[in-house]
Amino acid sequence: MAESYRWLILLGALGLFAGGAASALLFARIPKLSDWLAHVCALLGNVALMAGAIIGFSAKPGQAVLFHGAFTFTDIVVRQSAFAAFFLFMTGAIGLLVSIYAIGYAAEYRGRKSLALLNAGTLLFLMAMAWVVLSGNVFTFLLAWETMSIVSYFLVMYEHEQDEAQKAGFVYVVMTHIGTAFLMIAFFLLQHYTGSFDFARMNAANMPIVAKSWVFIFAFIGFGTKAGLVPLHIWLPRAHPAAPSHISALMSGVMIKTAIYGFLLVVVQFLHAGPVWWGIVALTLGAVSALFGVLHALNDIDMKRMLAYSSIENIGLMFMGIGTALIFCSLRQPVPAALALMAALIHAMNHAFFKSLLFMGAGAVLSVTHTKNMNLLGGLIRRMPQTALFVLFGSLSIAALPPLNGFVGEWMLFQSMFALGFSGTNIGLHMLGILAVAVLAITGALVAMLFVRAFATSFLALPRSEAAEEACEAPLTMRTGMALATAVCLMLGVFPFAAFGAVRSSIQALTGADALAPNLFSPLFMASGSSKAAMGTIAAVLIVCSGIAWLIARIIGGKTKTTSVDTWACTNTLEPRMTYTASGYSKPVRVASRFLLKPSRRLIVDRNPKSPYFIRGYTYISRIPLVVEEFAYRPVMHLLVAGARIFRKIQNGQVQSYLVYLFATLVIVLFFTMR
């Protein structure tokens, strides 16, 4: 029964998105109606997506041809599996939260920009992301993939009058197309060896290892670009902050996860894993991304760029999980492979929720203070108490602190790295697992520092600018979106089993082992039975323990009074400029990671011309060079430009010579085909 409804619901969702986008543009002249239509379609469409996904969790994989193209390989085929359902659910859930938030957030642009365009873009973006996951063959997939890229490009460029957006858009569109090119090569290679463009029949079990490895490399580059893995990340810290905040939330929360979906589809489902070095490559680059992302985030004062770098870090963690899973697949150990894969997917889901929550929070701050610079904020907890609470929960989640959802994924990742350290077959793999644990630990602590810094310097102490001084609470719809996200973070933290069930069957299909199998309840992974309620127990214990703390203090000390006075500032009055800024907070890390980041600083002293001893002001400029851009991308770009200069000689502007080129080409082609 559910089978037949499934397609109806899912395609209905896509139709709602498309229809909403069309009607938003159609009625652009009637702003009220256009907005209303767009928002209603977004809400309904996301609810439908979630419903379809929930049915899909338990249903058998199904496939349907929507539209017959001129050739069989250009058919538009949709396919649905439990694995896709997981990502669909994520898209729908995040989409729903963000759509509610967008009702309030988009209003900020009213009168300045075309809201209809933004709303339509958002809807198309949601549609494209869902469609990527629903694709059933290469053609459909690439079509959806490109739609997603192009629509998100336009959304990044939405505020095109700003320099930031223009630069970001350019880098983004170039990188994403390079990525797509590699994907095409990967898929064509697959087709060559499997003889089918159809995902259902793409079984590359009999492919020669060398060809498999090529596919892996191309897929890794293609999907890694979209995911934002170092060194392919260069678009991400530019594009995510430039987009409107709710789009940033979707990009970080969902879009980069589609790359995880695609990567797993190609590497695990089609190729069935390969040599051990695949996993090692994924694990290593994941670890590099995690460290790189968090170090750069710590030295960024732009709230949204910091969150974007933090996305790179989280994608790194996911790839560490995936890499571990691939290593275990190569070693023919499906059980720990299933666990590692589950860790990556659960972390992906959790990241979607808390990262979109944090982006929404950053957007709320941005919309009332009009600044993203954390050094100019401060003291917002009094002015935006509810937003502060939500951002605090988001920060606690992302710092993987119990009993919130970030901890669950982190804990599973630790478990799978430990498993690698324990059961590696040779000392190299042992040490790899151990070092991965170390990287996870460092990253975890750095993320905690990052979000203490972000929260404390933006929301606590004193406001360091007019804008922060005059901030007020965000509108109700924005707060609702954030509140729901917070609730989900808590729920998934306390009852993680809800999420486990959602990925269990698809992981079983991918690796052939149950990630929650009884033999996993060995001492290495979980204690028998208690893991089901473990997180809930921890939450309860924490609450009880804090209560005990209060009781102890109360019983021993009796009732006491509290007086409030000014903060002691060495007999001066405390001024906002005395309070710690975000730049100051991360100074120790900058100093300690000097050999990696190579920061530079300049101090410009403005002296009084009459006397050098009186100083009117200091300007402090601190800069972190973008190492990857300068050492990897620039030389390649120079080579390309130099090469283009050489080839420009044949572009002489005369029609006759172009005709000669045409003729020569024709002759060559004929020569090759007539042989």
Partner 1 sequence: METILLQTAQIVLLVLFAPILTGVIKKTKALLQGRKGPAIMQTYYDLRKFMRKDAVVSKEASWIFTATPYVVFGATLAVTALIPVVSDHALLSFTGDFVLVVYLFALARFFLAMSGVDTGSSFGAMGSSRDMFISMLAEPVLFITVLVMAIPAQTLNLSAMVKYLATGGQHITPAYFMMILAFVMLLVTETGRVPVDNPDTHLELTMIHEGTLLEYSGKQLALLVWGSSLKQIILFALFADLCFPWGVATEPGLGPWLLGLVLLLLKMVGVGILLASVEMSYAKMRLFKVPRYLAAAFLLSLFALVTEFLL
Q: Residue for token digits 């898929």?
A: 187
In the complex with partner 1, which residue's Cβ is closer, 91 or 289?
289
CA 166 – CA 371 distance, rounded (Å): 19
What residues from 588 to 617 belong to the interface with partner 1 (CB under 8 A)? 588-589, 591-592
Measured in whole angstroms, the distance separating CA 254 from the mean position of its chain's CA atoms is 6
Q: How far is CA 38 from CA 129, 130, 580, in A?
A: 17, 17, 43
List 195, 584, 625, 635, residue binding partner 1 (CB under 8 A): 584
Stretch that binds partner 1, among 37-45, 65-73, 241-249, 557-565 (CB under 8 A): 557-565
What residues from 464 to 503 belong to the interface with partner 1 (CB under 8 A)? none
CA 369 – CA 360 distance, rounded (Å): 14
In the complex with partner 1, which residue's Cβ is closer, 282 or 400?
400
Beta bridge partners of 24: none
Cβ atoms of residues 196 and 591 within 8 Å: no
Q: Which of 93, 87, 392, 94 is nearest to 247 (CA)?
A: 94
Stretch that binds partner 1, among 196-204, 221-229, 429-437, 499-507 (CB under 8 A): 429-437
- Greatest Cα-to-Cα distance within the chain, rounded to the nearest angstrom: 100
What residues from 504 to 543 belong to the interface with partner 1 (CB under 8 A)? 523-527, 530-531, 534, 537-538, 541-543
In the complex with partner 1, which residue's Cβ is closer, 363 or 378?
378
Q: Does 346 bind partner 1 (CB under 8 A)?
A: no
Q: Does 586 bind partner 1 (CB under 8 A)?
A: yes
What contacts 473, CB < 8 A, 6 or more positions away?
Answer: 368, 383, 384, 385, 386, 387, 479
Burial 151-168 (b: 16+ CB within 10 A, else e): bbbbbbbbbeeeebbeeb
Token pair recorded at residue 286: 């994941």
Beta bridge partners of 531: none
In the complex with partner 1, which residue's Cβ is closer, 543 or 667?
543
Token pair recorded at residue 144: 């959806």
Pairing mode, if any, of strands 76-80 and 615-623?
unpaired
In the complex with partner 1, which residue's Cβ is closer, 150 or 574?
574
Q: Residue for token digits 């967008």?
A: 102
Provide, rounded to whole angstroms, the least separation between the CB of residue 524 and partner 1. 6
In the complex with partner 1, which residue's Cβ is closer, 578 or 632?
578
Q: Which of 174, 181, 172 is nearest to 255 (CA)?
A: 172
Stretch that binds partner 1, among 12-20, 68-76, 197-205, 391-399 (CB under 8 A): 391-399
List 25, 65, 217, 392, residue binding partner 1 (CB under 8 A): 392
Q: Which of 362, 404, 405, 406 is nearest to 384 (CA)?
A: 362
Q: Does 558 bind partner 1 (CB under 8 A)?
A: yes
CA 127 – CA 211 distance, rounded (Å): 34
List 1, 205, 209, 556, residue binding partner 1 (CB under 8 A): 556
What residues from 399 to 418 belong to the interface with partner 1 (CB under 8 A)? 399-402, 407, 410-411, 414-415, 418
Provide, rounded to whole angstroms, the least separation between the CB of residue 537 and partner 1. 6
Q: Does 313 bind partner 1 (CB under 8 A)?
A: no
Provide, rounded to whole angstroms, the least separation between the CB of residue 624 and partner 1. 17
Provide, rounded to whole angstroms, the least separation between the CB of residue 464 and partner 1. 10
In the complex with partner 1, which residue's Cβ is closer, 210 or 427?
427
CA 144 – CA 650 distance, rounded (Å): 37
What residues from 441 to 470 belong to the interface with partner 1 (CB under 8 A)? 441-442, 444-446, 448-449, 451-453, 455-457, 460-462
Provide, rounded to whole angstroms, the least separation between the CB of residue 476 and partner 1. 22
In the complex with partner 1, which residue's Cβ is closer, 100 or 461?
461
In the complex with partner 1, which residue's Cβ is closer, 239 or 483?
483
Measured in whole angstroms, the distance separating CA 655 from the mean position of its chain's CA atoms is 49
Query: How many beta carbons lie within 10 A of that of residue 141, not counting itself?
Result: 23
What contacts 616, CB < 8 A, 6 or more positions away?
Answer: 606, 607, 608
List 49, 54, 273, 381, residue binding partner 1 (CB under 8 A): 381
In the complex with partner 1, which residue's Cβ is closer, 501 or 588?
588
Q: What are phi and psi of 618, to 5 degrees?
A: -115, 145
Which secondary-structure segment (H or E) carries 289? helix 276-298
Provide, rounded to whole angstroms, the least separation between the CB of residue 535 and partner 1. 9
Provide, rounded to whole angstroms, the least separation between the CB of residue 456 and partner 1. 4
In the complex with partner 1, which residue's Cβ is closer, 189 or 291?
291
Provide, rounded to whole angstroms, the least separation between the CB of residue 252 and partner 1. 22
List 4, 206, 564, 652, residue binding partner 1 (CB under 8 A): 564
Check residue 109 and report its DSSP letter.
Answer: G
What residues from 181 to 210 belong to the interface with partner 1 (CB under 8 A)? none
Q: Does 281 bind partner 1 (CB under 8 A)?
A: no
In the complex with partner 1, which residue's Cβ is closer, 211 or 462?
462
